[in-house]
Amino acid sequence: MSAEKMVIPGELVRRLRNSKGVKQSVAAKRMYISQQAFSKLESAENISMPKLLLVIAALESSQHEFEIIKNFTLL
């Protein structure tokens, strides 16, 4: 039985943000939330699809880029 790696969605958000070179405060401002709220989002074990789409838009990214980060992380 192979152990499948589990990646926390918030960790993927952090990695995507870092890959874009965007600070938490900037991403938070784009989402109209506090930096503290964005920080909590990056440690979240579950993120709703609507919120994830907002994050992707705030990072001026795409779902495709998010999937690349996700797949790379699982290697």
Q: pLDDT for 24-33, tens place per residue? A: 999 999 999 9
Residues shown for the chain: 75
Which whole-number Å values give the CA distances from 9 to 1, 15, in the listed order?
24, 10
Task: In whole angstroms, give the CA distance from residue 5 to residue 29.
Answer: 32
Question: What's the pLDDT score for residue 75?
Answer: 52
Q: Which CATH architecture has domain 9-73?
A: Orthogonal Bundle (1.10)
User: 5: pLDDT confidence band, cut at 50, 70 and 90?
Assistant: low
Q: pLDDT for 18-67, tens place per residue? A: 999 999 999 999 999 999 999 999 999 998 888 988 999 999 988 888 88
* 72 C-beta neighbours (distance < 10 Å), count: 11
Domains of the chain, by residue range, sit at: 9-73
Is 59 in contact with 28 (CB distance < 8 Å)?
no
Task: In whole angstroms, give the CA distance from residue 75 to residue 48.
Answer: 24
